């Protein structure tokens, strides 16, 4: 779905069909951009294993802190591009439990540590090798919505939820003909309920079913 298609549906549902519009195209496009981002924050976000700028993390000898793409919400897994072997991701708080500390001694890559600085990861130990890591992540949309022809990254099946957020933002516009605090609160509640359902549905999809063996007589 394009931003223009969602904008058209918004105008139809909110009965803002005749110029001059109560909500300008620029305003509605900003609501759409915000809706995509908020949807991703309240669900797991967009799964990505292939966008190079997001999922490829090159490490040079002696690197310590590495920049992570600012769209990343969660790192789901890390592997070495050369061997395919898994690299464990640690939170900064895990270091003490594993009796690890950054003492400047170089060695072969063992862990990727997150949580010390925003949008950065730290390599443990100080790497004595050059290697590229491949990330599997949940992320925010990559491109800001500013034009009607742009494709949304959130899939069409979530259109209803996005529309709730658009209406919530619309009814908070500081305009006597637009502002309606009660309607805004109602659509905000509907949006968060929708996101909770989506997150639970995705959790069920990701859950590996167990095989149950029944004994005979």
Whether residue 125 has a cis bond before it, omega within 30° of 0: yes
Q: With respect to residue 19, please indicate whether it lies within any of the assigned structural domains.
A: yes
| Domains in the chain, number | 2
Q: With respect to residue 73, please indicate whether it lies within any of the assigned structural domains.
A: yes
Among 139, 170, 191, give the residue marking a domain's end: 139
What is the mean pLDDT of the segment spanning 87-112? 92
Q: d(Cα 50, Cα 137) in Å, to the nearest integer?
A: 10
Both 28 and 55 in one domain: the answer is: no
Q: What percent of the chain has pLDDT over 90?
A: 87
Among 27-36, 146-155, 205-214, which is the least confidently predicted range?
205-214
Mean pLDDT for the chain overall: 93
Among 2-11, 28-37, 45-54, 92-101, which is the least confidently predicted range?
92-101
What is the mean pLDDT of the segment spanning 170-176? 96
Both 8 and 54 in one domain: the answer is: no
Both 131 and 82 in one domain: the answer is: yes
What is the mean pLDDT of the segment spanning 96-105? 90
Q: With respect to residue 150, please indicate whether it lies within any of the assigned structural domains.
A: yes
Both 74 and 126 in one domain: the answer is: yes
Q: With respect to residue 156, please indicate whether it lies within any of the assigned structural domains.
A: yes
Both 70 and 130 in one domain: the answer is: yes
Among 22-26, 168-172, 211-215, which is the least confidently predicted range?
211-215
Both 195 and 163 in one domain: the answer is: yes
Which one, of 108, 51, 46, 122, lies nearest residue 80 by Cα? 108
Both 64 and 107 in one domain: the answer is: yes
Both 86 and 39 in one domain: the answer is: no
Q: With respect to residue 180, please indicate whether it lies within any of the assigned structural domains.
A: yes
The predicted model scores a pTM of 0.88
Q: d(Cα 125, Cα 104) in Å, to the nearest integer?
A: 8
Both 99 and 33 in one domain: the answer is: no
- Band (pLDDT 50/70/90 cuts) for residue 208 is low
Q: With respect to residue 31, please indicate whether it lies within any of the assigned structural domains.
A: yes
Which one, of 12, 40, 29, 8, lies nearest residue 158 by Cα? 40
Q: What is the pLDDT of residue 217?
A: 40
Q: With respect to residue 82, please indicate whether it lies within any of the assigned structural domains.
A: yes
Q: Domain of 50?
A: 46-139
- Band (pLDDT 50/70/90 cuts) for residue 123 is very high
Q: d(Cα 92, Cα 121) in Å, to the nearest integer?
A: 10
Both 115 and 50 in one domain: the answer is: yes
Among 95, 114, 139, give the residue marking a domain's end: 139
Q: What percent of the chain has pLDDT over 70?
A: 95
What is the mean pLDDT of the segment spanning 56-65? 95
Alpha helices by DSSP H, listed for 15-123, are 25-42, 52-55, 94-97
Both 128 and 154 in one domain: the answer is: no
Both 78 and 135 in one domain: the answer is: yes
Among 121, 139, 157, give the residue marking a domain's end: 139
Q: With respect to residue 214, please indicate whether it lies within any of the assigned structural domains.
A: no
């Amino acid at each position: 779905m394009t931003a223009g298609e969602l904008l058209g549906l918004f105008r139809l549902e909110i009965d803002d069909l005749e110029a001059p519009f109560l909500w300008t195209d620029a305003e509605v496009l900003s609501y759409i951009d915000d809706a995509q981002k908020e949807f991703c924050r309240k669900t797991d976000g967009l799964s990505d294993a292939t966008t190079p700028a997001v999922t490829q993390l090159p490490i040079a000898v002696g690197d310590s802190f590495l920049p992570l793409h600012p769209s990343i919400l969660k790192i789901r897994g890390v592997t070495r591009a050369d061997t395919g072997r898994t690299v464990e991701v640690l939170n900064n708080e895990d270091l003490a439990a594993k009796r690890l500390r950054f003492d400047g001694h170089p060695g072969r890559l063992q862990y990727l540590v997150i949580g010390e600085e925003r949008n950065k990861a730290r390599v443990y130990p100080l790497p004595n090798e050059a290697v590229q890591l491949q990330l599997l992540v949940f992320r925010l949309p990559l491109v800001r919505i500013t034009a009607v022809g742009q494709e949304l990254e959130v899939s069409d099946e979530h259109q209803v939820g996005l529309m709730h957020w658009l209406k919530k933002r619309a009814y908070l516009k500081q305009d006597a003909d637009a502002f309606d605090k009660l309607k805004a609160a109602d659509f905000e509640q509907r949006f968060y309920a929708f996101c909770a359902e989506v997150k639970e549905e995705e959790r069920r999809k990701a859950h590996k079913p167990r095989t149950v063996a029944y004994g005979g007589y």
